[in-house]
Structure 1
Amino acid sequence: MIEFINISLLPVFLLVFVRILAFFIVIPLLSYRTIPTPFKIGMSFFLTLVLVMTLPTTTLDFEFSYVLLLLKEIVIGLMLGWFSYMVVSAVQIAGGFIDFQMGFAIANVVDPQTGAQSPIIGQYFYMIALLFLLSIDGHHLLIDGIYGSFQMIPIDQMITFNQESIVMFVIQTFGQMFIIAFQIAIPIVGCLFLVDLALGIIARTVPQMNVFVVGLPLKIFVSFIVLFLFMSLYISLSKKLFQTMFETLHGLMQLIGGV
């Protein structure tokens, strides 16, 4: 404790605190507006108390280069959090595909995390994904990941971004995100396509039937049945989604740290 209150540890403490706080502001679990800001700051503070004692002893001074290190920590924390949120947002993209086929595209809800409108099924998938992440102790893995970032990206060293590598990494991450989104949405979207095909055949063979009146409730009914049947598949895809998220964070830290 005496070593901890030494004033020489204050620059290191601030750098660690800034990276953790920037990470917690963006990650899917703690970035909700409903979570109080003092809670995020307090959690970052006490987690920093633990991490500072485990990091190699580093002596830093409050000078101009320290401001650059502070900005570097903010950028790293935001990048790690943003990439993790970007991968998890694949479930909302899948929900958008499903809502468009179900006819729910005009009935969006307000996302409490961003304040923007999001698809109903996408928000439903997103909540289940977060609950699944908590059930497998994914929040502990995120904390372990931010701890590992200090091993791969030291706080006392500046970083040089390879612009081409970063761009290719972002493109690859986007590709993986959309692949998972299509895998989540394809069972329901495929069944609804068959329903549309059947309704088109009925409209041609029985012109007296108003398929527009029958089609919408029928598609909603079929969608909920298929959603119930394929829920186990969605859980397995959620596992793959979070595995991709952790691999993406590890790859990003390797890219930034030059490991």
Structure 2
Amino acid sequence: MIDFIPSFPTFLLIFVRVTSFFLMMPLFSYRTIPATHKIGLGFMLALIMFSAIDAPELKIDSVYFMLIIKEAMVGLFIGFIAALMMSAIQIAGGFIDFQMGFAIANVIDPQTGAQSPLMGQYLSIIALLVLLTVNGHHLLMDGIFYSYNFIPIDQLMIPFGKENVAEFVLLSFNKMFLIAFQMSLPIVGTLFLVDIALGIVARTVPQLNIFVVGLPIKIGVSFLVLIAVMGALMAVTSDLVSTTLATMRGLMEIIGGA
């Protein structure tokens, strides 16, 4: 304990980065996890990282408080990028819901407290199971651990305002929408063909109320196609975890000046 006291400022900086990362990180940021559990897990993880990282001893002065702000921003930024990439599943569900006609029936996501599309909620639950199956939560925690290889704990200046950082975030945002479009393309494309067929039927058989018949047909076709492509969706979700880790690494390299 006596040896730990001089290193307590360094441990506090590690604790700030880890807990800030948990505020934005997928799975650990969910509201259903009690705050005491998050703090306890962050404390234990910071303690393990403190014993494994060769961090310098720091003194509490004016520069130290700036380091606390820097560590909080680094943790939030890395967690934001991870959450941004994983939100591609919710966007894909929104695309599917819009074509199915479920867009008017959004539900409250108990994990985030925000409105979520029905199919997005369904795919998110499955993606969460895939994330846990492939040990993605361990890999995400490895990401915050190895962030000290790119962003040292005593590095004060972080180039958040540089052009390459903003460009990287925009490219990641673009990649997220591209992945969401690829995930929803089989169902959205099929429903587009169904809409064309229903339009032809409406013109050839005007006596048929196409609005009454069309919605159940689109819902039924959507579920059939979803069952058919579920394996491919899970493969894309598994690749999304590795894409998230690669994006986190790229961001840390840019911020750290590597």
Establish whether TM, by shorter chain, passes 0.5.
Answer: yes
Question: Contact 2:20 / 2:75 at 8 angstroms: preserved in 1?
Answer: yes
**What residue is the counterpart of 2:218 in the other structure?**
219
Q: Distance in 1 between matches of 2:11 and 2:101?
A: 52
Question: How far apart are residue 88 of structure 1 and its match?
Answer: 0.5
Question: Contact 2:70 / 2:158 at 8 angstroms: preserved in 1?
Answer: no
Q: Distance in 1 between matches of 2:55 and 2:180?
A: 44
Q: Distance in 1 between matches of 2:209 and 2:112?
A: 40
Q: Distance in 2 between matches of 1:202 and 1:36?
A: 54
**What residue is the counterpart of 2:50 in the other structure?**
52
Question: Contact 1:111 / 1:118 at 8 angstroms: preserved in 2?
Answer: yes
Q: Deviation digits for residues 46-92 of structure 1, max 9, x if unmatched?
A: 11111111111411001000000000000000001111000000111
Question: How far apart are residue 112 of structure 1 and its match?
Answer: 2.0
Q: Distance in 2 between matches of 1:41 and 1:32?
A: 13
**What residue is the counterpart of 2:81 in the other structure?**
83
Q: Which runs of 4+ in 1 moved over 3 A?
A: none
Q: Distance in 2 between matches of 1:133 and 1:109?
A: 23
Q: Structure 1 residues 155, 57: closer, same or farther in 2, change over 3 A?
A: closer
Question: How far apart are residue 2 of structure 1 and its match?
Answer: 6.1
Q: Distance in 2 between matches of 1:248 and 1:107?
A: 33
**What residue is the counterpart of 1:104 in the other structure?**
102
Q: Distance in 2 between matches of 1:188 and 1:27?
A: 29
Root-mean-square deviation over aligned CA pairs: 1.1
**What residue is the counterpart of 1:67 in the other structure?**
65
Q: Normalising by structure 1, what TM-score?
A: 0.97
Question: How far apart are residue 240 of structure 1 and its match?
Answer: 2.0
1:139 matched to 2:140: no
1:22 matched to 2:20: yes
Percent identity for Structure 1 against Structure 2: 54
Matched residue type, 1:117: Q
Matched residue type, 1:217: P
Q: Deviation digits for residues 166-223 of structure 1, max 9, x if unmatched?
A: 1100111011101100100000001101111111111111111111000001100000
Question: Contact 1:109 / 1:120 at 8 angstroms: preserved in 2?
Answer: yes
1:258 matched to 2:254: no
Q: Normalising by structure 2, what TM-score?
A: 0.97
Question: Contact 1:87 / 1:173 at 8 angstroms: preserved in 2?
Answer: yes
Matched residue type, 2:224: I
Matched residue type, 2:194: V
Q: Distance in 2 between matches of 1:19 and 1:127?
A: 27
Matched residue type, 1:62: I
Q: Distance in 2 between matches of 1:171 and 1:108?
A: 27
Moved more, 31-40 or 110-119: 110-119
Moved more, 51-60 or 155-164: 155-164
Q: Distance in 2 between matches of 1:119 and 1:57?
A: 45
**What residue is the counterpart of 2:247 in the other structure?**
248
**What residue is the counterpart of 1:233 in the other structure?**
232
Moved more, 130-139 or 154-163: 154-163
1:95 matched to 2:97: no
Q: Structure 1 residues 221, 33: closer, same or farther in 2, change over 3 A?
A: same
How many equivalent residue pairs? 257
**What residue is the counterpart of 1:13 in the other structure?**
11
Q: Distance in 2 between matches of 1:57 and 1:78?
A: 21
Matched residue type, 2:204: T
**What residue is the counterpart of 2:203 in the other structure?**
204
Long gaps (5+) in structure 1: none
Long gaps (5+) in structure 2: none
- Partner of 1:143, secondary structure, is helix
> Which residues in structure 2 correspond to 1:137-176 (within 5 Å)?
137-161=135-159, 162-176=161-175
Question: Contact 1:22 / 1:74 at 8 angstroms: preserved in 2?
Answer: yes
